[in-house]
Amino acid sequence: MAFYTDSEQLYGSMRLLFALVEQDEPGAADAILASRLVIRLRCTAPEAEFTINGRRRPVQVVFGPDSARPTLDIDLAADTLHDILLGQLSLRTALGNGLLSVRGPALKAMALAELFRRGQVIYPDVLRERGLVAQE
């Protein structure tokens, strides 16, 4: 059974997560800014799309379809994103096991590492604040 019941629940959690990361650690997206990346994450089960635009400061995140042309396209299940943010699955393992696919310069996906590291610290609080219980 999927952790997130619908797209709005996933979007709400990700909006809060990105807002808290920016508030607590504004430098977490510096690697994305330095690389001038536009990264689109497309989730399934439930369907959701997030575009992280590092072409201008501050990094902008669009929740839902966006017209910006991505440098990197990352496709993954929402449960895979959830497991990565809980620290139960690494980006490298997810990629190696085919749980996510990357189109574009895959090595540049490592620019997401600091953002994900900071997100992992905050994500359990996001789940608690939104009344969601992480499945272990």
Q: What is the pTM of this model?
A: 0.91
| Alpha helix segments (H runs only) across the chain | 7-24, 30-35, 78-85, 91-96, 113-129
Mean pLDDT, each 10-residue run in order, the chain (136 residues): 95 96 88 91 97 91 96 96 95 91 85 86 95 66
Second CATH level (architecture) for the domain 7-126: 2-Layer Sandwich (3.30)
